[in-house]
Amino acid sequence: MLYMVEMVVKIPHTMPAEVAAEIKAREKAYSQQLQKEGKWRHLWRVVGEYSNVSIFDVASNDELHTMLNNLPLFPYMEIKVKPLANHPSSIVQE
């Protein structure tokens, strides 16, 4: 199942820089592993914001929920999830 996920990151300004850097390093490693596994299919930065739009390809709502919950930055994110379906006019069908 394909999902579009919008993530806005809001790290508290009071967080020490070294703590934020460590969390971001774990986030990068985890997200890159999911990309290599083919579960995190696309990852785009939103220009001018600390946010992204991503496409996930997972088996279920529960699998996506678990993956998002395991993001090291999850406690500092606002997340919107939208399930996707094939469009009848698309020349590419997933």
Task: Tell me, yes or no, whether 78 lies in a domain.
Answer: yes
Total domain count, the chain: 1
Tokens, residue 41: 């299919």
pLDDT of residue 45: 97
Give the model's pLDDT for residue 92. 80
What pLDDT, in 10s, does the model give residues 27-79?
Answer: 999 999 999 999 999 999 999 999 999 999 999 999 999 999 999 999 999 99
Residue 79 lies in a domain: yes
Confidence of residue 26 (pLDDT cuts 50, 70, 90): very high
Q: With H, G, I as helix, E, B as strand and everything else as coil, classify residue 48.
A: coil
Residue 91 lies in a domain: no
What average pLDDT does the segment 3-22 reach? 98
- Helix (H) / strand (E) element for 28: namely helix 17-36
- CATH number of 65's domain: 3.30.70.1060
Residue 93's pLDDT is: 73
How many residues belong to the chain?
94
Confidence of residue 14 (pLDDT cuts 50, 70, 90): very high
